[in-house]
Copies of this chain bind each other. A is one copy, B any other.
Amino acid sequence: MSRTELETELKRITEAVNSKLEEIARVPDVPEKSVYEAMRYSLLAGGKRLRPVLTAAAAVMTGGDFDDAVTAGCALECVHTYSLIHDDLPCMDDDDLRRGKPTCHKVFPENIALLAGDGLLTKAFEIISAPDSFKTLSAETVNKLALCLSRAAGCGGMIGGQVIDLESENMENISAERLTLMHRKKTGAMIEAAALMGALIGGITDENSGEYKAISDYAMNLGLAFQIKDDILDVVGDENVLGKPVGSDEQQGKNTFVTLLGISGAEERLKKCTADAIGAIEIFGEKGAFLRELARKLVSRDN
């Protein structure tokens, strides 16, 4: 697959996702509309839509329905967005800006931002369980989607990773194992769930099958590669392209793959994770071309 073909397919998926998110983010005319406005503000604040892209691409690769995958991907994006809102709150990272825009609690009162996060997390499960959400899925598959999402988002996944991250701040000599565990949970679990939910929609529901494991492997390595690239860009990136100041990790005393392995060590690790991701889905042959090219694109990105 050429880079142009990749970009065309990426555009098709993100347009479908953004159009569905626009629908989900509609603000009803009710007394409590402020919380809907806050949800909408954060949900439509942009971003790469990486998780829905993975869901849609994994579904297409495995013969699943595109629209159903977009819907499931939007549920993932609701969970991802809630995690960003809560992560930015004063008692967490206390961030004023995200992607160059004021964070949710800077635009809305802090309590409304908190509730908007809660609302998006709850909305994700309403989307999954609503009877008119999916056209092609059995009730059993829908249950599996909900289970996959709740496990990835919960304390065994993303929330657990955030706790490890919070409790690692200013920790000296953090081990590579702890750093890897933190990222595998904090961002990796949801990235893996995104791909696996696509696989579920494509009918790959047996956790012990080779295809399921291959997709899990791909996503795990992709998630780690994504994080390592982020850490590298924070040191060597271009502020104008990144849209945020370079060197912020070091300033905040954050443990990263670069502080742990050095730039060249981190780049080596990045190459290995990317190669492992690409190798994992060889078994899908030509159908895996988009996901392999996507992994290559993510390594070479500059923002």
Judge whether A123 and B39 touch: CB under 8 Å. no
* Majority-rule SS of A interface residues: helix
Contact present for B91 and A114 (CB under 8 Å): yes
A125 touches B150 (CB 8 A): yes
Q: A111-B91, A140-B139, A143-B139 are in contact. Are A164 and B122 (CB under 8 A)?
A: no
Q: How many copies does the complex hold?
A: 2
Contact residues on A (Cβ < 8 Å of other chain), bracket: 35 or more
Chain B residues in 8 Å Cβ range of A115:
86, 159, 162-163
Interface residues of A in 146-196 (CB under 8 A from B): 146-147, 149-151, 153-155, 159-164, 166-167, 178, 181, 185
Contact B167 A34 (CB under 8 A): yes
Any B CB within 8 A of the CB of A247: no
Interface flag for A92 (CB, 8 Å): yes
Residues of A within 8 A of B (CB): 30-32, 34-36, 39, 82, 86, 89-92, 110-112, 114-115, 117-119, 121-123, 125-126, 128-131, 138-140, 142-144, 146-147, 149-151, 153-155, 159-164, 166-167, 178, 181, 185
Further 11 A-B residue pairs, CB within 8 A, beyond A36-B155, A91-B114: A31-B181, A32-B155, A32-B159, A32-B163, A118-B118, A121-B121, A122-B154, A123-B154, A125-B150, A131-B143, A146-B146
